[in-house]
Amino acid sequence: MSFEFAVPLARKDLLKRTSDTQYVVEEVLTIRQINTQIHGLKAAFRSGPAAILENFDLIYSVLSQLNEVETEVKEEVWTLLVKAVSQHASQLPALLDTADFDCSTRLQHLNTLKMTTYLLTQFMEAFEAEDTKPTTVTVTKGRKSKKKTVKGDWDWEGERLRAVQSLSQVVQLEIGRLWEPPVVEEEFVNMVANCCYKLLENPSTCKEKGTKDAVFHLLGTLVRRYNHGLGASLKIIQLLQHFEHLASPMAQMVELFAQQFSAKSVISDIMREIGRMDPSKLVRDNSGTRSYAAFMVELAERVPALMLPNISVILCHLDGESYTMRNGVLGVMSEIVIKELSKGDLDTKGKSARDQFLDCLEEHIHDVNAFVRSKVLTLWLHICNEKAIPLGRWHQLLCLVVGRLQDKSSLVRKVAIQLLTTFLTSNPFGAKLPLDVLKAELEKESARLEEIMPEQPQDQPQDGRPVEEEWSAIQPEVMTALQDLQEEEEEEQELIGEEDGLESVVMRVKTLLQQSQHKSAARLVMSAREAWPDEHVFLPANTGSGEEEEKEEDDNELQPDQKNLLEILEAIFVGTTVDAPLPNPEEVVPASLQEGSTVTEEGASEVAAAEAEEGEEGGVVNEVSKQQVIVQYLKDSVNFATQMQRAIPILCQLLGSKATSDILETIEFFVSAFEFGLAGAMEGVRRMLVLIWSGEKSVKEAVVEAYKRLYLSPTGGNLRARNLAVVKNLTALTVGATVGELTSLEELICELVRTSLLSSGVVTLLWERFALKIQGTTGEDSRGALLLLGMAAGAEADIVRSNVDVLVQEGLGQRGQEDMQLARDTCTALLKLAGSQKRKAGCHEEPLRFPADHDMFTGLANILVNGVENLANPYWIPLMEQGLNVVYRLSETPDVVIGNIIKGVVTIVLQAREAESAQKQAKEPESAETPEEPPASPAKIIRCSSGVLSRLLALAGHCALRQLVHLDVALTGELKRRRMLQEERNCKAGRKGNTSANNTPSSTPAGKGKDDKEMSMEDEMGLAGASADDAEAEYIRKICEKEVVTGSSLLALLAPVIVAVCANPTMFPHPQLRATASLALAKYMLVSSEFCEAHLQLLFTILEKAPQPIIRANTIIALGDLSFRFPNLIEPWTPNLYARLRDDSSHVRKNTLMVLTHLILNDMLKVKGYISDMAACMVDEVSGIADLAKLFFLELSKKGNAIYNIMPDMVSRLSDPDCGVTEENFRSIMKYLFSFIQKDKQSESLVEKLCHRFRATRTERQARDLAFCLSMLSLSEKGVRKLQENFTCFGDKLGSEDIHNSFCTILKKAKSFAKPEVKALVDELEQRIEQCHNKGMSDDETLQKASKARPTGKKGAQTPGKGLQKGRTPGRRRRGRQTSQKQDSSSEDDGPNHPPTQEEDHPAKRGMKGKKQKAGKKKTVSLSSDDESDIELFDVNEGTTAGEPDGESDQENADPRPNVTPIRRAKGRKHSKKHISSAAEDSFSEATPVK
Residues 791 and 1022: their CA atoms lie apart, in Å, by 42
Region 476-484: mean pLDDT is 79
Beta bridge partners of 1421: 1433
Of the given ranges (180-189, 1277-1286, 1318-1327), which has the lowest mean pLDDT? 1318-1327
Question: What length does the chain have?
Answer: 1491
Of the given ranges (202-216, 251-265, 503-517, 1345-1359), which has the lowest mean pLDDT? 1345-1359
State which amino acid sits at residue 1315.
K
Residues 691 and 465: their CA atoms lie apart, in Å, by 65
C-beta separation of 398 from 423 below 8 A: yes
Tens digits of per-residue pLDDT, 65-118? 888 888 888 888 888 999 999 988 888 888 887 767 778 888 888 889 989 999
C-beta separation of 1211 from 1226 below 8 A: no
Residues 578 and 1011: their CA atoms lie apart, in Å, by 121
Beta bridge partners of 1027: none
Region 733-739: mean pLDDT is 87
DSSP category for residue 970? I
C-beta separation of 1299 from 1263 below 8 A: yes
CA 351 remoteness from chain centre: 39
Tens digits of per-residue pLDDT, 1214-1237? 888 788 888 889 889 999 998 888
C-beta separation of 512 from 526 below 8 A: no
**DSSP assignment of 692-759:** GG-S-HHHHHHHHHHHHHHHS---SS-HHHHHHHHHHHHHHHHTT--HHHHHHHHHHHHHHHHTT-S-
Which of 579-588, 928-937, 955-964 ranks highest by mean pLDDT? 955-964
C-alpha angle with apex 378: 315 to 650, nearest 5 degrees?
125
State which amino acid sits at residue 733.
L
| b/e burial code for range 800-818 (CB count within 10 A of at least 16 → b) | beebbeebbbbbbbebbbe
Distances (CA, A) of 1086 to 965, 1121, 1350: 10, 8, 69
Of the given ranges (340-344, 1024-1028, 1354-1358), which has the lowest mean pLDDT? 1354-1358
pLDDT recorded at residue 466 = 61
Alpha-carbon torsion, ordered 548, 550, 551, 557, to 10 deg: 140
Look at residue 935 and tell me whether its pLDDT is greater than 80. no
3-state secondary structure of 771: coil
3-state secondary structure of 930: strand
pLDDT recorded at residue 363 = 93
Tens digits of per-residue pLDDT, 851-881? 988 899 999 999 999 988 888 889 999 999 9
Look at residue 523 and tell me whether its pLDDT is greater than 50. yes
End-to-end Cα distance, the chain: 120
Region 1277-1300: mean pLDDT is 81
3-state secondary structure of 22: strand
- Residues of the chain with pLDDT > 90: what percent? 29
pLDDT recorded at residue 1208 = 86
3-state secondary structure of 488: coil
In Å, the largest CA–CA distance within the chain is 159
Residues 823 and 863: their CA atoms lie apart, in Å, by 8
Look at residue 1390 and tell me whether its pLDDT is greater than 50. no
Q: Which helix (H) or strand (E) holds 944?
A: strand 941-945
pLDDT recorded at residue 838 = 59
Residues 412 and 418: their CA atoms lie apart, in Å, by 10
Of the given ranges (965-969, 1310-1314, 1357-1361), which has the lowest mean pLDDT? 1357-1361
Residue 942 pLDDT grade (very low, low, confident, very high; cuts 50, 70, 90): low
Region 1398-1416: mean pLDDT is 39
Give the residue from 1241, 1176, 1231, 1195 showing the smallest Cα distance to 1402: 1176
Look at residue 1091 and tell me whether its pLDDT is greater than 80. yes
Radius of gyration of the chain measured on its C-alpha atoms: 49
Q: Helix and strand tally (H, E) in the chain? A: 69, 4
Give the residue from 294, 185, 287, 288 showing the smallest Cα distance to 238: 288
pLDDT recorded at residue 1423 = 36
C-beta separation of 16 from 24 below 8 A: yes
DSSP category for residue 1045? S
The per-residue pLDDT of the chain, averaged, comes to 77
Residue 1281 pLDDT grade (very low, low, confident, very high; cuts 50, 70, 90): confident
C-alpha angle with apex 269: 264 to 270, nearest 5 degrees?
100
| More confident call, 434 vs 1352 | 434
Region 724-745: mean pLDDT is 90
pLDDT recorded at residue 1049 = 86
Residue 543 pLDDT grade (very low, low, confident, very high; cuts 50, 70, 90): very low
Burial class (CB in 10 A: 0-12, 13-18, 19+), 1469: exposed
**DSSP assignment of 1244-1289:** HHHHHHHHHHGGG--SHHHHHHHHHHHHHS---HHHHHHHHHTHHH
Residues 191 and 118: their CA atoms lie apart, in Å, by 7
pLDDT recorded at residue 912 = 59
Give the residue ranges of DSSP H helices in 802-847.
804-811, 814-818, 820-831
Residues 239 and 237: their CA atoms lie apart, in Å, by 6
Q: Which helix (H) or strand (E) holds 1024?
A: helix 1005-1039
Tens digits of per-residue pLDDT, 1186-1221? 999 999 999 998 888 888 888 888 888 888 878 888
Give the residue from 565, 420, 542 showing the smallest Cα distance to 481: 565
Tens digits of per-residue pLDDT, 350-405? 889 999 999 999 999 999 999 999 999 999 999 999 988 888 888 889 999 999 99
DSSP category for residue 1344? H
Put simply, whether the predicted model's pTM sits higher than 0.75 gets the answer no
C-beta separation of 578 from 410 below 8 A: no
Region 873-898: mean pLDDT is 91
pLDDT recorded at residue 1441 = 35
Tens digits of per-residue pLDDT, 1142-1177? 899 999 999 999 999 999 999 888 877 788 888 899
Q: What values do phi and psi take at 366, rounded to 5?
A: -105, 30
pLDDT recorded at residue 1383 = 41
3-state secondary structure of 227: coil
